[in-house]
Structure 1
Amino acid sequence: MKITSKLSAHQEPFINIESSNHYDPKSILKEEIIAINNENAEEIKSHILTTDGMVLIDTQMYFSEPQIEVFEINEESVVMDFISCNNVETQIDQLESEKYTKENTHNIFYTTKFKATFKIPAFEQINYLSIILSKEFYYNIINEDWELHEKFSKNILFKKSGYLTSKYLPFTPAIQWIISEIKNCNRDGALKKMYIETKIRELLIHQLETLNQPKPNELIDEDEYSKLQEAKQILENDCAHAPTLTELSRLISLNEFKLKKGFKACFGTTVKSYIIKLRMERAKELFQTKAATVSEVAYKCGYKDVSHFSAAFKSFYGFSPQKFKINWDIIQLWITGLLLLA
């Protein structure tokens, strides 16, 4: 499997990777960082992880003039695609893609041979994360017969290029969190390989679950569904200061009854329950990444009363925030000890 990426203004690709198609649990994880910053105000930074059957590419770009990027994969592969930028015009051979990228959206696609052309505007911060898997690697991290990707699996069997779903969908908080964990992983060697592969599997499961969610109720038209998606995004953007139902209804120009009924029909949960879910996931993230007290986390998650936060946390996770914090600190000490021994 060979992967290249180049700007049309340059002869040489800035990414040029070869990886075996075979899945080998004993293969090592290679790491490469590409950094280009020249007098023409071209800035490219790409962090690449490679092992047999898998290539992970995290790329940021910024240009003072419009550019054209050509990205190619020479063999069949499954690509987990995560876009964190807007306004990039996209043309993909063999795939019917959306014309312009949308920030914080994702999809999965299978391709027998991939070639994409991206028209990158000037003065736009470009960021994408692509996890490219050989067919053998893909089927080693997921059950081939799993119902969640039955149709997608048949496309792979018959070598039919296509997306898992017709449109890129917004990141969920869980997907955002796992992407952050992958990008900020500071482990080395075999531990890093084990960690990254575990996170790819976890990310894939969240993608499949999200992309296979039931379609909205037929009684909900496209305009109303778009407003419900907007409401969901508003909550995700700042769950600590989530608007009231009345305020949210006003923000998206949809009456409260349709908001409550439509939100439940489209996303399988109430507005209130979704806010709690977002806050609890945020609390877990804060406990895992910062040495924060329970009262600090409660405040940052939108709770003025620590006891209300503790009760909500215990109801959501089954144990108190104090117990979670103690257990997480012990796990971190154990991992640090393993790394020191290694």
Structure 2
Amino acid sequence: MLKAVHIDLPTNNQGYLLYSERVPATTPYRLTLADVNYWQSDQFSVLEQYYDAPDALICLADVHAEVPVEVPIHCKLSDLYWLYQLKGTYSIHTSNKAQKVLQSQEMHYTQVYVPQGQYLTHFDKGKHQLFYFVIKPNWLLRHGKKEWRGLQKLLDNWKEKAANVRHNKQFPISEHIMLRLLNFFALPPLKRLAMDLKVYELCFNLLVLSQEDMQSVKTDSTYSNQKVEAIRSTIELQIQHGQVQTIKQLAHHYKISERWLRKIHCEIYGNSLGLYIQQTKLKRATELLDDSRYTISEVAHLLGYSGIASFTNAFKAYYGLSPSEYRIQKL
């Protein structure tokens, strides 16, 4: 398949920057039958080893930077990438530096849709190593989008030739993934057909492992939603019956940490659990105030407020008038 990413550095030796198509002797990993691009200067070096099979392309890239460096790249086609950050980090920006479209994490991987175009990759001072593979999207689509859980949106972006970079969550690189990569990097010299089969085997295994990671996120997300929905229902029921628990008590009852409960509620609903409890109490307050059998003091007590003053302050902050003013208005 067509080479996915072109590094836009000169390939004719230009004083400050030397170019070679040979792997340096000190390189720990050498890809069998790989094409090589190697640039070296006093401030940085870039080594690219890539192998092009008919339906997939793999690449191992090493960047050693004595100072922060920006490397221009050019994507000739809109493609899906599986990016594995083995060492260091990097970020990808639009060519005019107006937007950062991806920030990698060391020993993490992700799936990315990258549209055709020019980009800038930024590397901080240090050693960075990246492995990626690209599979022809048509090959993926032949199996149906339902077969690739978590990739549907990225595949849709590819089919529609969307203009913006899109990526999934970044996952830690597990021991299983690292072992498969290291075994592949250590392959002895092979004939091209045998190498093609090894590339497809690696890509397939990494695809399966990434599907398992994405499925685990989906399962965790479903569990979180169900748990928080159950807790919100409990809060509404308790407030309805004058039994108000603290967040700490709720977490203890459901055998989860208070910190996790606060965090997940905020992620799902976009606001704090404390605010939700306050709003639910104040909505219940209007129902109780509409019933003339309850005094304002009794309403405050039923909703768990420490006294009339704290109840009045909360009610007025939410509705813009005090409980007594609300009752008068309802008459």
**TM-score of the two chains, using structure 1 as the length reference:** 0.51
Structure 2 residues without counterparts, runs of 5 or longer = 22-31, 229-254, 265-331
Amino acid in the other structure paired with 1:131: F
Output the CA distance in 2 between the equivalents of 1:191 and 1:108. Answer: 26
Q: 1:97 aligns with which of 84, 97, 101?
A: 101
Instruction: Give 1:177's aligned residue.
Output: 179
Cα gap change, 1:95/1:183 in structure 2, threshold over 3 Å: closer, same or farther?
farther
Instruction: Give 2:114's aligned residue.
Output: 111
CA contact (8 A) 1:6 1:13 kept: no
**Helix, strand or coil at the partner of 1:84:** strand
Instruction: Give 1:206's aligned residue.
Output: 209
Output the CA distance in 2 between the equivalents of 1:133 and 1:211. Answer: 18
Output the CA distance in 1 between the equivalents of 2:110 and 2:45. Answer: 26
Q: How does 1:115-264 map to 2 (within 5 A)?
A: 115-122=118-125, 124-139=126-141, 142-146=143-147, 148=149, 149-160=151-162, 161-165=164-168, 167-189=169-191, 190-212=193-215, 213-214=217-218, 215-216=220-221, 217-218=224-225, 258=256
The structure with more radius of gyration: 2
Output the CA distance in 2 between the equivalents of 1:220 and 1:180. Answer: 40
Aligned residues between the structures: 210
CA RMSD of aligned residues (A): 3.8
**Helix, strand or coil at the partner of 2:179:** helix
**Helix, strand or coil at the partner of 1:97:** strand
Cα gap change, 1:79/1:130 in structure 2, threshold over 3 Å: closer, same or farther?
same
Does 1:56 pair with 2:32?
Answer: no
Output the CA distance in 1 between the equivalents of 2:61 and 2:120. Answer: 16
Output the CA distance in 1 between the equivalents of 2:91 and 2:80. Answer: 22
**Helix, strand or coil at the partner of 1:47:** strand
CA contact (8 A) 2:84 2:108 kept: yes
Q: 1:46 aligns with which of 45, 48, 57?
A: 48
Deviating more after overlay: 82-91 vs 52-61: 82-91
CA contact (8 A) 2:89 2:128 kept: no
Amino acid in the other structure paired with 1:49: Y
Instruction: Give 1:32's aligned residue.
Output: 35
CA contact (8 A) 1:95 1:162 kept: no
CA contact (8 A) 2:62 2:128 kept: yes
CA contact (8 A) 1:6 1:15 kept: no
Deviating more after overlay: 101-110 vs 130-139: 130-139
Structure 1 residues without counterparts, runs of 5 or longer = 17-28, 222-256, 267-342
Cα gap change, 1:156/1:34 in structure 2, threshold over 3 Å: closer, same or farther?
closer
**Helix, strand or coil at the partner of 2:195:** helix
Cα gap change, 1:152/1:34 in structure 2, threshold over 3 Å: closer, same or farther?
closer
CA contact (8 A) 1:7 1:13 kept: no
Instruction: Give 2:87's aligned residue.
Output: 85
CA contact (8 A) 2:8 2:71 kept: yes
Output the CA distance in 1 between the equivalents of 2:51 and 2:118. Answer: 21
Cα gap change, 1:191/1:36 in structure 2, threshold over 3 Å: closer, same or farther?
same
Instruction: Give 2:271's aligned residue.
Output: none
Instruction: Give 1:307's aligned residue.
Output: none
Following TM superposition, by how much is the alpha carbon of 1:82 offset from its aligned partner in structure 2, in angstroms?
A: 1.0
CA contact (8 A) 2:44 2:64 kept: yes
Output the CA distance in 1 between the equivalents of 2:19 and 2:119. Answer: 15
CA contact (8 A) 1:35 1:46 kept: yes
Output the CA distance in 2 between the equivalents of 1:147 and 1:200. Answer: 14
Output the CA distance in 1 between the equivalents of 2:74 and 2:227. Answer: 39
Cα gap change, 1:80/1:184 in structure 2, threshold over 3 Å: closer, same or farther?
same
Q: Identity, % of aligned pairs?
A: 7
Q: Deviations over 1:11-48 (max 9, x none)?
A: 899799xxxxxxxxxxxx9522334445x153332221
**TM-score of the two chains, using structure 2 as the length reference:** 0.52
